[in-house]
């Protein structure tokens, strides 16, 4: 009881301190310093209508590369931590008929919607990370409905690696053409799609990178689910 | 006070309640459900603060995938927090 009340007291002090600090920041007012530049120049500089994805992929592309690396390390860490020579699904009860049939019907739609999210990253909210997570949710559905389902491992892990390397490759092509890493060569040098901003074939390399990130995140999270579900077989 | 502010206060209240319940419940499966509820209401709040990108990511990662990963981990370990059998000394309980 003493421990708990002391913890609550400490949290209250920290919360009061944070609230004091935040009291000086007005909510909902224009406090943008760099934001105005992004909002005014996003269309002509990147070709994207969605300013968030333009910032995430184009202006601050290095952070996205770091995030993808973090996710890759997490996936590799889970795989290394749960590594066993022989692993099998341990589920014993098959899902009900309604569940399996519903999964059969739903999974194509879930994967289609995930692909829609990451292909239209430069036009609509979303992008590579939600799209890839949606695709992984489709595979999670398959894992939960069928006792024997397994993702095709060889293809999956190679796809993940190829998608990650292609992201770096796109950045390196930019380094060769424009002089710095992750330079938007499709938009700035080739001027591809400059006359149809707001349509699908615009946005420089944002759609390409988001397709790669979507595939990478989807396969990675599916791999994490696969590692979590399987258990060791005792021989 | 307009309707949107009332809805926002309500969502923040439910979110705090589910966060407290998620740490209070001894049944870890229920705690995972509480965590997913916090993610869901955070996602709704992001949407109401006009950040749809963040809202979609929060819903996809927090409410679906991390809850599933937690539940898989609970399935492979144990479901209930165990109380200590014999009462330890005050220095442990403290």
What is the number of domains present in chain B? Answer: 1
Strands A87-89 and A230-232: antiparallel
| A109: number of Cβ within 10 Å | 10
Predicted local confidence at residue B80, as pLDDT: 84
Nearest CA in chain A to B94: A3
- Residue B43 within a domain: yes
Tell me the average pLDDT of chain A. 86
Give the residue, A39 or A231, on which the prediction is more confident: A39
Q: Measured between beta carbons, which residues in chain B are less than 8 angstroms from residue A133?
A: 57, 60-61, 64-65
Predicted local confidence at residue A234, as pLDDT: 67
pLDDT tens profile B8-59? 999 999 999 999 999 888 889 999 999 999 999 999 999 998 899 999 999 9
Percent of chain A with pLDDT over 70: 98
Q: What is the DSSP string of A30-64?
A: ---SSHHHHHHHHHHHH--S-HHHIIIIIITHHHH
Residue A55, chain B, CB below 8 Å: the answer is no
- Residue B81 within a domain: no
CB within 8 Å: B93 and A3: yes
pLDDT of A18 over the 90 cut: yes
| Residue located via tokens 């005014």 | A40
Predicted local confidence at residue A57, as pLDDT: 87
Torsion angle defined by CA atoms of residues A141, A143, A149 and A151, in that order, rounded to the nearest 10 degrees: 90
Sign of CA dihedral A201, A202, A205, A210: negative
Residue A140, chain B, CB below 8 Å: the answer is yes
Sign of CA dihedral B32, B38, B43, B46: negative
Predicted local confidence at residue A220, as pLDDT: 92
Q: How confident is the model at residue A146 (pLDDT cuts 50, 70, 90)?
A: confident
pLDDT tens profile A33-86? 888 888 888 888 888 888 888 888 888 888 999 999 999 999 999 989 888 877
Count of pairs with CB atoms under 8 A, one residue in A, one in B: 49
CA distance A179 to chain B (A): 31
pLDDT of A28 over the 90 cut: no
pLDDT tens profile A156-210? 889 999 999 999 998 888 888 877 777 777 777 777 777 777 777 877 788 889 9
| Residue located via tokens 């963040």 | B54
- Most confident range (mean pLDDT) of A109-118, A149-158, A165-174 is A109-118
- Residue B18 within a domain: yes
Distance of alpha carbon A53 from the chain centroid: 12
Question: Rounded CA gap, B52 and A126, in Å?
Answer: 7
Q: How confident is the model at residue A87 (pLDDT cuts 50, 70, 90)?
A: confident
Question: Rounded CA gap, A184 and A196, in Å?
Answer: 17
Predicted local confidence at residue A227, as pLDDT: 87
Torsion angle defined by CA atoms of residues A178, A181, A185 and A187, in that order, rounded to the nearest 10 degrees: -110
In A6-144, at which residue ranges do the beta strands (DSSP E only) sit?
87-89
- Residue B22 within a domain: yes
CB-nearest partner of B56 from A130, A221, A231: A130
- Residue B38 within a domain: yes
What token pair was written down for A110? Answer: 């879930």
Question: Rounded CA gap, B12 and A233, in Å?
Answer: 46
Predicted local confidence at residue A98, as pLDDT: 93
Distances (CA, A) of A136 to A107, A209, A213, A224: 10, 18, 13, 9
The whole-model pTM stands at: 0.86
pLDDT tens profile B48-93? 988 999 999 999 998 888 998 999 889 888 888 776 555 666 555 5
Distance of alpha carbon A6 from the chain centroid: 39
Mean pLDDT of A210-222: 92
- ∠ CA(A210), CA(A186), CA(A207), 5° rounding? 15
What token pair was written down for A208? Answer: 């390409």
What token pair was written down for A151? Answer: 């993702």
Residue-range definition of the domain harbouring residue B25 = 3-76
What token pair was written down for A168? Answer: 């770096």
What token pair was written down for A25? Answer: 């920041």
């Amino acid at each position: 009881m003493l421990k708990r009340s002391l913890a609550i007291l400490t949290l209250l002090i920290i919360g009061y301190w944070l609230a004091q600090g935040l009291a000086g920041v007005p909510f909902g007012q224009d406090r943008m310093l760099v934001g105005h530049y992004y909002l005014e120049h996003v269309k002509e500089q990147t070709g994207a209508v969605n300013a968030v994805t333009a910032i995430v992929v184009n202006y601050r592309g290095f952070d996205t590369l770091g995030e993808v690396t973090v996710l890759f390390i997490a996936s590799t860490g889970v795989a290394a931590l749960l590594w066993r020579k022989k692993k099998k699904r341990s589920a014993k009860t098959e899902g009900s008929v309604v569940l399996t049939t519903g999964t059969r019907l739903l999974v194509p739609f879930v994967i289609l919607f995930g692909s829609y999210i990451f292909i239209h990253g430069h036009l609509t909210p979303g992008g590579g990370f939600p799209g890839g997570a949606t695709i992984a949710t489709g595979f999670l559905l398959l894992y939960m409905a069928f006792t024997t389902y397994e993702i095709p491992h060889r293809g999956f892990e190679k796809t993940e690696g190829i998608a990650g390397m292609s992201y770096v490759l796109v950045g390196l092509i930019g380094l060769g053409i424009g002089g710095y890493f992750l330079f938007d060569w499709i938009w700035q040098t080739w001027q591809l799609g400059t006359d149809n901003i707001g349509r699908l074939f615009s946005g420089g390399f944002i759609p390409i990178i988001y397709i790669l990130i979507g595939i990478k995140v989807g396969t990675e999270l599916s791999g994490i689910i696969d590692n979590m579900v399987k258990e060791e077989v005792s021989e | 006070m307009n309707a949107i502010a009332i809805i926002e206060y309500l969502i923040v209240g439910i979110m705090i309640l589910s966060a407290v319940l998620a740490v209070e419940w001894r049944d870890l499966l229920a705690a995972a459900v509480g965590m997913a509820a916090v993610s869901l209401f955070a996602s709704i709040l992001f949407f109401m603060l006009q950040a749809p990108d963040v809202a979609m990511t929060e819903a996809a990662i927090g409410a679906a995938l991390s809850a599933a990963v937690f539940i898989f981990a609970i399935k492979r370990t144990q479901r209930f927090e165990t109380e200590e059998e014999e009462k330890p000394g005050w220095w442990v309980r403290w």
